Structure 1
């Protein structure tokens, strides 16, 4: 830790460091970015992410050395407003949206962001998954109202992209603490099977195979088929599915799969994709918790920034990404979580072991909203 900010080595967890730097107001220096590789420095998608941060803040200073291996970032004030951004095709729109979800509630004016690029790929969380799972998490912390929405205007598969997404989010001065310790039992399963520039039957075949697995456990299943045509179908063919299980306590657990991008790797059959995604959903239900594994870091950040009161959240096993996020939260906000591992009794049939996360929020107040 440097006296004038924080210093990190390497390109891992790039977004975490810049997002937490922006929220905490602490400067950050990232050095040795792929310095030992044949092609050193920032990648195109990382440079695109920096440009997006520059658009939603006012007064940020970003310095990159000639080789792109050292980045110095001094955050400005989060401003928001209406922005448009063409995302790098190396990563999907979900890569950028995950960061915007963390930043948007703390801006000066409500955010209205139009992002263009790849909406669905096998690597990053898709727009559909974030809409079904991340937005309900934000609502539990008091970030709700008419202004919170995520719409797919055009669907773009990898590698060509051509998709377009509209994300709107209201601002909040404070985040309320939560007590989320009971996930509840699964009451229904919903989802969307999508296809672009291929036969509409692909989506129907996915639905049939997914239902073949899930109908053994629960009758209330509805998977919507979405086949976009013409200008709304992007530049590359593909298909995929996002499945979401909803509990009696309003918890959403999700899984998703997308077809192999055109020209990359072996093609996948829609039947296999639907079946495998259904099994992934069952695995996510077994992991359990009050937030699914893809949104653990978002929920933990909102707990950290909540009012100076105790927040509790029951999670399934922590992902490696979440573990590193907790280390960064300690660096930027000096917040440590109490972790209580809970092993379920055999006769309870409540899935795998859980972790009860407890912390006292820093009492973060949205100064950007109060400044005129």
Structure 2
């Protein structure tokens, strides 16, 4: 059994999510101690507990220590079960982070199709917004073979939650490696600016600020506005945000996002997202930093060597590499270059067929 110190590296929930996924696909049980030890509220919180229980449901695992506040768990997976799953986080916990746990498993599962209906937070702090998952992650995973569709049925913001998302995964027998080390020319830039339980001008102002900033780089983003008339808004609480993405002639997408909050001008939200996208473009990186650390588990499972670049070697990326290497005996390198970082991953070609 593998033992993992949850306080290693950046010490957050990503260590647990990656461990759960790779435990299932490799069949290796693990014990994790000091879960989220470096956080102000250490131990399993509701969204982490939901990830554990969802992983257990999908794999028929035996779990010890799965309760709120727990700082150690033992996870012993069995085999992946095909079917339709309903998952309720029960709070505004991030749906995207639960997906980070399950997707490395589901994209290579021995199933024709798996569907998930997840209730929780779609746009919450310290997590990728659902628009990033459906327009950036899903697209980039399609380059590796699987098909992934994410439908937002209702948004959910902190603290009310209540977001509902339907996810459909059509797995691949084995994942194809990715070899994209340059950004390439941009085919275009797109985005979604949303505001729920708020005046429509919030979404408009976010989009306008992003458009004005990106225009300085010669870019003309096509940003869709999402807002609701008073009396027809189905959401439980107010919230806003914007997600931007660009697609390259090399086939991949990069993304950036920003979330609204009380007292934060809509113009600041839009500009933050635009600045983030511009930083990736200026670095010439093939992928944005968030995608850079998300890709590692998938590429370690892929059938061949992958190479890609990110702008920065973040603590999340470094930690994810170390966790992956605990479950998969392979070579993963991070090589700093003049303007970005080259990541090399030797995939083991694992499929669950």
Alpha-carbon distance between aligned partners in 2 of 1:314 and 1:338, rounded to the nearest angstrom: 11
Is 2:119 the partner of 1:123? no
Q: Cα–Cα, structure 1 residues 101 and 289, in superposed 2: closer, same or farther, change >3 Å? A: farther
Query: Corresponding residue for 2:5?
Result: 8
| CA RMSD across the alignment | 2.4
- Matches of 1:163 and 1:22, distance apart in 2: 27
Contact 1:56 1:79 (8 Å CA) reproduced: yes
- What is the aligned partner in structure 2 of residue 305 from structure 1? 301
The 1:120/1:38 distance shift into structure 2, 3 A limit, reads: closer
Q: 1:267 offset after TM fit, Å?
A: 1.6
Conserved 8 A contact 2:17-2:100:
no
Equivalent residue for 1:57?
59
- State how far apart, in whole Å, the 2-side matches of 1:357 and 1:40 are: 31
Q: Is the 8 A contact 2:116 2:168 kept in 1?
A: yes
**SS of residue matched to 2:244:** strand
Q: Which residue of 2 aligns with 1:319?
A: 314
Q: SS at the partner of 1:233?
A: coil
The one of 76, 96, 99 aligned to 2:98: 96
Partner of 1:281: 277
Give the match for residue 224 of structure 1.
224
Partner of 2:172: 172
List per-residue Cα deviations over 1:143-183 (Å, max 9, x = no partner): 23xxx201111111111011110111112221122322232
- How big is each residue's C-alpha offset from its partner over 1:193-231, in whole Å with a ceiling of 9 and x where there is no partner? 001111112111111121111112224321000114667
- After TM superposition, the structure 1 = structure 2 runs for residues 71-150 of structure 1, keeping only pairs within 5 Å, are 71-109=73-111, 110-144=113-147, 148-150=148-150
Task: Please name the residue that 1:236 is paired with.
Answer: 237
Q: Is 2:241 aligned against 1:255?
A: no
Q: Is the partner of 2:227 in helix, strand or coil?
A: strand
| Distance change (3 Å), C-alpha of 1:29 and 1:207 | same
The DSSP-based 3-state class of the residue aligned with 1:198 is: coil
Return the match for 1:269 from 265, 269, 292: 265
Aligned equivalents of 2:348 and 2:66: distance in 1? 34
Whether contact under 8 Å (1:30, 1:70) holds in the other structure is yes
Shift of the alpha carbon at 1:115? 0.6
Report how far residue 105 of structure 1 moved: 0.9
Give the Å deviation of 1:65.
Answer: 7.9
1:339 & 1:282 partners in 2: Cα distance? 23
Between Structure 1 and Structure 2, how many residues are aligned?
A: 345
Question: Is the Cα–Cα contact under 8 Å of residues 91 and 124 in structure 1 kept in the other structure?
Answer: no
Q: d(CA) in 2 for partners of 1:65 and 1:276?
A: 37
Structure 1 CA distance for aligned equivalents of residues 131 and 218 of structure 2? 22
Q: What CA deviation, in whole Å up to 9, does each residue of 1:36-67 have, x standing for no partner?
A: 99977432222222111122223x11011888
Mapped pair 1:363 → 2:342: no
